[in-house]
Amino acid sequence: MSLRSVVCLALAASLACSRLPSYARPEGALVEPGTVDDSDLIPYRKLTRADFKGKRPSGEAAEHVDAMGAQTYAIVRPNLSLRIEIVGTPQSNGKLEYSGKVSDLLHFRAEMDRRKSWWNPNLKEVPEAYVLEHEQIHFAIVEVKARELNAKAPELTARMHATGDSEEQVRDRIVKKLDAVIEDALGALLAENRRFDEDTSGRYAPEKQNEWYRRVTAELGKH
Protein backbone atom coordinates (compact mmCIF):
# COMPACT_ATOMS: atom_id res chain seq x y z
CA MET A 1 0.00 0.00 0.00
CA SER A 2 1.56 3.28 -1.07
CA LEU A 3 1.41 6.74 0.49
CA ARG A 4 -0.02 9.62 -1.44
CA SER A 5 0.76 13.17 -0.39
CA VAL A 6 2.60 15.71 -2.51
CA VAL A 7 2.83 19.47 -1.97
CA CYS A 8 2.59 21.61 -5.09
CA LEU A 9 3.44 25.31 -4.92
CA ALA A 10 3.05 28.13 -7.43
CA LEU A 11 5.53 30.88 -6.47
CA ALA A 12 5.57 34.08 -8.48
CA ALA A 13 7.27 37.44 -8.86
CA SER A 14 4.92 40.36 -9.44
CA LEU A 15 5.95 43.54 -11.22
CA ALA A 16 3.35 46.00 -9.98
CA CYS A 17 1.57 47.17 -6.80
CA SER A 18 3.31 48.20 -3.61
CA ARG A 19 1.14 45.72 -1.71
CA LEU A 20 1.15 42.06 -2.67
CA PRO A 21 -2.00 41.44 -4.76
CA SER A 22 -3.97 38.23 -4.33
CA TYR A 23 -2.94 36.90 -7.75
CA ALA A 24 0.75 37.18 -6.81
CA ARG A 25 0.45 35.39 -3.47
CA PRO A 26 1.99 31.93 -3.14
CA GLU A 27 -0.50 29.12 -3.73
CA GLY A 28 -0.21 25.49 -2.72
CA ALA A 29 -2.13 22.26 -2.24
CA LEU A 30 -1.75 18.58 -1.43
CA VAL A 31 -2.21 16.39 -4.48
CA GLU A 32 -2.10 12.71 -5.38
CA PRO A 33 1.28 11.47 -6.72
CA GLY A 34 -0.43 10.03 -9.79
CA THR A 35 -1.42 13.53 -10.88
CA VAL A 36 2.21 14.71 -11.00
CA ASP A 37 3.91 14.61 -14.39
CA ASP A 38 7.50 13.45 -13.81
CA SER A 39 8.67 14.18 -17.34
CA ASP A 40 10.52 17.43 -16.62
CA LEU A 41 11.21 17.75 -12.90
CA ILE A 42 14.59 18.97 -11.68
CA PRO A 43 16.11 18.84 -8.18
CA TYR A 44 17.35 22.01 -6.53
CA ARG A 45 20.13 23.72 -8.47
CA LYS A 46 20.93 27.10 -9.97
CA LEU A 47 18.11 28.11 -12.30
CA THR A 48 18.43 29.52 -15.79
CA ARG A 49 15.97 31.31 -18.03
CA ALA A 50 15.58 28.09 -20.05
CA ASP A 51 14.11 26.29 -17.02
CA PHE A 52 10.85 28.20 -17.40
CA LYS A 53 8.93 26.36 -20.11
CA GLY A 54 5.30 26.97 -19.12
CA LYS A 55 2.94 28.74 -21.50
CA ARG A 56 1.02 30.52 -18.74
CA PRO A 57 1.31 30.88 -14.97
CA SER A 58 -0.86 28.71 -12.74
CA GLY A 59 -3.76 29.73 -10.54
CA GLU A 60 -5.09 33.26 -10.26
CA ALA A 61 -1.88 34.63 -11.78
CA ALA A 62 -2.96 33.23 -15.17
CA GLU A 63 -5.39 36.16 -15.48
CA HIS A 64 -2.70 38.77 -14.75
CA VAL A 65 0.24 37.81 -16.95
CA ASP A 66 1.16 41.43 -17.71
CA ALA A 67 1.72 42.09 -14.02
CA MET A 68 3.86 39.01 -13.44
CA GLY A 69 7.57 38.50 -13.98
CA ALA A 70 7.80 34.73 -13.59
CA GLN A 71 6.40 31.80 -11.65
CA THR A 72 8.16 28.78 -10.20
CA TYR A 73 6.08 25.63 -9.84
CA ALA A 74 7.71 23.62 -7.05
CA ILE A 75 6.94 20.22 -5.56
CA VAL A 76 7.83 18.60 -2.24
CA ARG A 77 7.18 14.88 -1.88
CA PRO A 78 8.32 11.86 0.11
CA ASN A 79 10.33 9.05 -1.47
CA LEU A 80 8.32 7.31 -4.16
CA SER A 81 9.35 3.84 -2.94
CA LEU A 82 7.71 4.39 0.44
CA ARG A 83 5.12 1.76 1.30
CA ILE A 84 2.88 0.88 4.22
CA GLU A 85 3.48 -2.58 5.65
CA ILE A 86 0.49 -4.07 7.50
CA VAL A 87 0.28 -7.34 9.42
CA GLY A 88 -2.60 -8.99 11.26
CA THR A 89 -2.10 -10.61 14.65
CA PRO A 90 -4.65 -13.12 16.04
CA GLN A 91 -6.22 -12.06 19.34
CA SER A 92 -7.70 -14.19 22.15
CA ASN A 93 -11.20 -13.42 20.87
CA GLY A 94 -10.36 -14.96 17.52
CA LYS A 95 -10.23 -11.66 15.66
CA LEU A 96 -7.22 -10.08 14.00
CA GLU A 97 -5.63 -6.86 15.20
CA TYR A 98 -3.86 -5.06 12.39
CA SER A 99 -0.75 -2.96 12.80
CA GLY A 100 1.17 -1.03 10.19
CA LYS A 101 4.16 1.19 9.61
CA VAL A 102 5.98 2.80 6.70
CA SER A 103 8.51 0.57 5.01
CA ASP A 104 11.52 2.89 4.94
CA LEU A 105 12.96 6.02 6.47
CA LEU A 106 11.09 9.06 5.20
CA HIS A 107 13.00 11.18 2.72
CA PHE A 108 11.63 14.35 1.13
CA ARG A 109 12.80 16.05 -2.01
CA ALA A 110 12.11 19.43 -3.54
CA GLU A 111 11.74 19.69 -7.30
CA MET A 112 10.81 22.27 -9.88
CA ASP A 113 8.39 21.38 -12.66
CA ARG A 114 9.90 23.12 -15.66
CA ARG A 115 6.83 22.45 -17.80
CA LYS A 116 4.65 24.45 -15.40
CA SER A 117 7.16 27.13 -14.45
CA TRP A 118 6.57 30.27 -16.47
CA TRP A 119 8.55 33.32 -17.56
CA ASN A 120 7.06 36.54 -18.89
CA PRO A 121 8.49 36.89 -22.42
CA ASN A 122 7.71 40.63 -22.34
CA LEU A 123 9.63 41.34 -19.16
CA LYS A 124 10.61 45.02 -19.10
CA GLU A 125 10.05 46.51 -15.66
CA VAL A 126 13.02 44.96 -13.86
CA PRO A 127 16.28 43.28 -14.94
CA GLU A 128 16.04 39.64 -15.94
CA ALA A 129 18.75 38.73 -13.44
CA TYR A 130 16.66 40.17 -10.61
CA VAL A 131 13.59 38.12 -11.53
CA LEU A 132 15.72 35.00 -11.94
CA GLU A 133 17.24 35.52 -8.50
CA HIS A 134 13.74 36.01 -7.10
CA GLU A 135 12.62 32.63 -8.42
CA GLN A 136 15.87 31.05 -7.23
CA ILE A 137 15.06 32.20 -3.70
CA HIS A 138 11.56 30.76 -3.92
CA PHE A 139 13.03 27.42 -5.00
CA ALA A 140 15.64 27.63 -2.22
CA ILE A 141 12.95 28.18 0.42
CA VAL A 142 11.27 24.98 -0.74
CA GLU A 143 14.58 23.09 -0.72
CA VAL A 144 15.31 24.30 2.81
CA LYS A 145 11.98 22.91 4.01
CA ALA A 146 12.69 19.53 2.37
CA ARG A 147 16.08 19.39 4.08
CA GLU A 148 14.53 20.34 7.42
CA LEU A 149 12.05 17.50 7.06
CA ASN A 150 14.87 15.10 6.22
CA ALA A 151 16.77 16.20 9.32
CA LYS A 152 13.72 15.12 11.35
CA ALA A 153 13.16 11.96 9.31
CA PRO A 154 13.89 9.41 12.08
CA GLU A 155 11.42 11.14 14.41
CA LEU A 156 8.78 11.55 11.70
CA THR A 157 9.16 7.96 10.50
CA ALA A 158 8.68 6.64 14.03
CA ARG A 159 5.33 8.41 14.14
CA MET A 160 4.12 6.72 10.95
CA HIS A 161 2.53 3.69 12.58
CA ALA A 162 -1.01 2.73 13.63
CA THR A 163 -3.21 -0.14 14.76
CA GLY A 164 -6.80 -0.93 13.88
CA ASP A 165 -9.51 -3.44 13.15
CA SER A 166 -8.79 -3.64 9.42
CA GLU A 167 -6.02 -3.05 6.92
CA GLU A 168 -7.97 -0.13 5.45
CA GLN A 169 -8.35 1.52 8.84
CA VAL A 170 -4.64 1.20 9.58
CA ARG A 171 -3.68 2.55 6.18
CA ASP A 172 -6.01 5.53 6.52
CA ARG A 173 -4.61 6.38 9.93
CA ILE A 174 -1.02 6.31 8.70
CA VAL A 175 -1.86 8.33 5.59
CA LYS A 176 -3.56 10.95 7.77
CA LYS A 177 -0.41 11.20 9.88
CA LEU A 178 1.72 11.79 6.81
CA ASP A 179 -0.82 14.23 5.42
CA ALA A 180 -0.60 16.19 8.68
CA VAL A 181 3.20 16.44 8.37
CA ILE A 182 2.95 17.65 4.79
CA GLU A 183 0.10 20.05 5.56
CA ASP A 184 2.24 21.62 8.29
CA ALA A 185 5.10 21.94 5.81
CA LEU A 186 2.77 23.48 3.24
CA GLY A 187 1.54 26.06 5.72
CA ALA A 188 5.09 26.98 6.68
CA LEU A 189 6.17 27.21 3.04
CA LEU A 190 3.27 29.45 2.06
CA ALA A 191 3.93 31.74 5.02
CA GLU A 192 7.67 32.03 4.36
CA ASN A 193 7.26 32.58 0.63
CA ARG A 194 4.61 35.21 1.28
CA ARG A 195 6.94 37.04 3.66
CA PHE A 196 9.59 37.00 0.97
CA ASP A 197 7.18 38.33 -1.66
CA GLU A 198 5.87 41.05 0.61
CA ASP A 199 9.46 42.19 1.14
CA THR A 200 10.51 42.16 -2.51
CA SER A 201 7.67 41.85 -5.06
CA GLY A 202 6.01 44.75 -6.86
CA ARG A 203 9.13 46.89 -6.77
CA TYR A 204 12.80 46.76 -7.59
CA ALA A 205 14.46 46.09 -4.22
CA PRO A 206 17.85 44.46 -4.90
CA GLU A 207 19.25 45.11 -1.41
CA LYS A 208 16.25 43.52 0.32
CA GLN A 209 16.22 40.62 -2.10
CA ASN A 210 19.93 40.07 -1.58
CA GLU A 211 19.30 39.85 2.16
CA TRP A 212 16.90 37.00 1.48
CA TYR A 213 19.37 35.35 -0.89
CA ARG A 214 22.08 35.40 1.78
CA ARG A 215 19.62 34.11 4.36
CA VAL A 216 18.39 31.12 2.35
CA THR A 217 21.94 30.30 1.22
CA ALA A 218 22.98 30.17 4.86
CA GLU A 219 19.99 27.95 5.69
CA LEU A 220 20.92 25.56 2.89
CA GLY A 221 24.40 25.36 4.32
CA LYS A 222 23.04 24.17 7.66
CA HIS A 223 21.49 20.99 6.23
| pLDDT number for residue 1 | 43
pLDDT 10s digits, 154-205:
999 999 999 999 999 999 999 999 999 999 999 999 999 999 998 887 678 8
For residue 121, being part of any structural domain is answered with: yes
What is the model's pTM? 0.89
**Count of domains in the chain?**
1
For residue 17, being part of any structural domain is answered with: yes
For residue 1, being part of any structural domain is answered with: no
| pLDDT number for residue 23 | 75
| pLDDT number for residue 161 | 96
| pLDDT number for residue 154 | 97
The candidate with the shortest Cα–Cα distance to 49, out of 113, 141, 144, 133, is 133
| pLDDT number for residue 147 | 97
For residue 116, being part of any structural domain is answered with: yes
Three state DSSP letters for the chain = CECCCEEEEEEEEECCCCCCCHHHCCEEEEECHHHCCHHHEEECCCCCHHHCCECCCCHHHHHCHHHEEEEEEEEEEECCCCEEEEEEEECCCCCEEEEEEECCCCCEEEEEECCCCEECCCCCCCCHHHHHHHHHHHHHHHHHHHHHHHHCHHHHHHHCEEEECCHHHHHHHHHHHHHHHHHHHHHHHHHHHHHHHHHHCCCCCHHHHHHHHHHHHHHHHHC
Taking 50 as the pLDDT cut, the residues of the chain under it are 1-2
| pLDDT number for residue 85 | 95
| pLDDT number for residue 15 | 64
| pLDDT number for residue 17 | 52
Q: How many C-beta neighbours within 10 Å does residue 166 have?
A: 13
How are beta strands 118-119 and 161-164 bridged, if at all? unpaired
For residue 156, being part of any structural domain is answered with: yes
Q: Which domain holds residue 191?
A: 6-222
For residue 179, being part of any structural domain is answered with: yes
| pLDDT number for residue 65 | 82
For residue 158, being part of any structural domain is answered with: yes
